[in-house]
Structures are given as C-alpha cells and as structure tokens.
C-alpha cells in the first residue's frame, strides 16, 4: 500500500502520477484526490494529458481550462489544461500569429526575403513543448491567491513518452524562449523605426514582458519537479513485462533527473478464478510478472491494485479504489 504517512505529510503538496498509456493513471489520480478530500484536505487535481479523461472519471464536465468544484465536495476541485492552447499562447506572445500590425508587416517582408527565422523556430519545435508550457501555465495559476489554500495538488500527466521528453524540456525551453525573446526585440525595434518614419508614436510591447514571465515559470516547473520535500512522483503500471520495462526506464530517468520517486502502483491485478479458464490463465501469468516486478522495483514501495469488475467512474467507485491504495 502507499505509505500511510503521506496522508499526514502536508509538506508533500505536489503529487504527480505518470506511466504508460492505458494503465489507469487518471482513475488512480482521481481516487487519490478523492481520498485526500475525504480526509478533509482541500485538494486540486489537474490533467495535463492531451487526451483528457478526468471528466469521464468524475462523470462531470471539466473542460474549458477553468477551476471546477466537483459535485458532492466543497474541498475538491479539478481542472483540465489544454497543452495545444498553451503552445498557441506562445506563438501569440512571440507575435507569430497575432500582435502588432507593423511587426506582422515586417515579418512578412523578411519572410519574402528568406529570413523567416521566427516561423522556422516554431516549425522545428520538438514534441512535448506544449506539455511543458501547459505546466508552466499551471504554475502561474497556482501562484494566484485562490490556489494558496490547497493542501494537495495532484497532476494526472501524459503517457511516459511525453513525460520523459518533458523532463528534459525546461532547459531547452529556456534557450528556445530566449531566442524568441531576442527576435521579438529585433522585430519591435524595426517596428518602432518603421512607425517613426511614418510619424506614428511607438508603444510599449507587452509581449516581451510576457515572454520574460514565461521563462521564469518554465524554470519553476523544473524546480517543482525536483523539489525532494514538496513533490512526489508516483509511477503507475500494470503487471505485464512490456509495461514493467517501460516503467523501469521511467524510474531510471526520473532518478537521473533528480526527481523524488518512492511509489510504484501496479494496477489491474486479476484475482485467480479456477471456474474461469481465461481468468485463471491470466492471473497465473500476472503472478509470474509480479515476481519479476518485485525484483525490478525492489527499491520502491509497491502498491497492488485489484482489477475492478466495473468501470471506475464516479465518486463512489473512486472512493473504493482509494481505499485499496491507502488502506
């Protein structure tokens, strides 16, 4: 079971859950959030997975990127962040899609001369940038006064591949945003000169300040991931060799990145049923895999979650799953 002391360790404010797609991360994230809320702790659960399923878990519409109070609770809230929108915001801040008309004119002129550096930068952005920016946006939200009294903040993250890319992205993004910042200054200076020639007064460019703030928030994402006191990363997996190996790689990468991982949650474990040939064979295979996983994850606390014969959806089902995690 998950270390019971986590329930009373209020310094561990951020809990991130990651793992292979389809292992039940969202259900487990939601059930942990419900468990904290049932314990009287004001809790926020945030999904940064592009394929959101948090709304399905709670059977409540959480789309829109806004804070939603979950039905039946006065201390449990949820939010689904759209990573693609976050990436779009960066383009807007940089002046690629919207912004000052004069800057746009100059960029079009440069593009016609073969100097479309700003556009080229965005065309070569590596996978995972959207997710990193989404997390940066979340950190910005969490600094708002309305979030200060949340005791627990749970992150339902994207599948393993996204998470691994995400871990190496803050350093890249710092450099990437720095390049955009410099280009934007050049564009703004050219726009100011153009306006001066036309007799139009120059105006302050707020996007530069926005980019500067975004750089600071990306750095805070990195700091939040690596905070050994305030953050716990839980790996969610299932009892298959493929999932086990992928989870092991994630654990090793997290260790390299200096991220605190103590818990491995193995979900969907079938009970043995000799009256059902398929169930019996599957349970036997899982038992063999579990022995392998006990050795593979011998440095971690392993929590085994049984297979639920009904869809884990709604507060009652999530509460039941939460009991199998903590008790």
Which residues are part of the catalytic machinery?
49
Closest by Cα among 64, 93, 94 to 79: 64
Residue 125 and residue 87: Cα distance in Å, rounded?
10
Q: Which residues pair with 43 in a beta bridge?
A: 76, 152
Token couple for 296: 């593979």
What does DSSP say about strands 263-269 and 43-47: parallel, antiparallel, or unpaired? unpaired
DSSP symbol at 78: E
Q: What is the CA radius of gyration of the chain?
A: 23
Residues ≥6 apart with Cβ < 8 Å to 180: 90, 93, 94, 118, 121, 211
Sheet with strand 152-156: strands edge to edge: 68-69, 76-80, 43-47, 152-156, 14-18, 231-237, 263-269, 301-306
Residues ≥6 apart with Cβ < 8 Å to 101: none
């Amino acid at each position: 079971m998950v270390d019971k002391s986590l329930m009373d360790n209020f310094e561990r404010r951020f809990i991130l859950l990651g793992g292979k797609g389809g292992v039940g991360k969202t259900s487990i994230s939601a059930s942990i959030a419900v468990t904290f809320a049932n314990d009287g702790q004001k809790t926020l659960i945030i999904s940064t997975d592009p394929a959101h399923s948090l709304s399905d878990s709670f059977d409540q519409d959480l789309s829109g990127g806004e804070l939603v109070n979950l039905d039946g609770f006065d201390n449990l809230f949820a939010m689904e962040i759209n990573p693609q929108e976050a990436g779009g915001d960066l383009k807007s801040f940089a002046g690629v899609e919207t912004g000052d008309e004069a800057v746009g004119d100059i960029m079009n002129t440069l593009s016609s001369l073969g100097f479309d550096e700003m556009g080229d930068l965005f065309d070569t952005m590596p996978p995972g940038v959207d997710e990193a920016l989404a997390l940066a946006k979340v950190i910005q939200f969490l600094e708002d006064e309305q979030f200060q009294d949340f005791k627990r903040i749970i992150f339902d993250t994207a599948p393993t591949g996204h998470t691994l890319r995400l871990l190496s992205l803050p350093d890249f993004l710092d450099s990437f945003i720095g390049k955009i910042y410099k280009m934007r200054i050049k564009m703004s200076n050219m726009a100011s000169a153009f306006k001066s020639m036309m007799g139009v007064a120059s105006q302050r460019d707020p996007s530069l300040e926005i980019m500067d703030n975004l750089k600071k928030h990306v750095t805070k994402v990195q700091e939040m991931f690596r905070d050994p006191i305030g953050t716990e990363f839980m790996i969610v997996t299932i009892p298959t060799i493929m999932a086990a190996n992928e989870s092991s790689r994630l654990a090793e990468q997290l260790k390299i990145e200096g991220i605190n991982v103590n818990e491995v949650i193995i979900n969907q474990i079938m009970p043995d049923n000799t009256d059902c040939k398929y169930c019996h064979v599957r349970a036997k295979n899982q038992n063999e895999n579990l022995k392998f996983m006990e050795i593979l994850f011998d440095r971690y606390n392993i929590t085994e979650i049984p297979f639920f014969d009904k869809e884990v959806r709604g507060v009652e089902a999530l509460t039941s799953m939460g009991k199998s995690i903590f008790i």
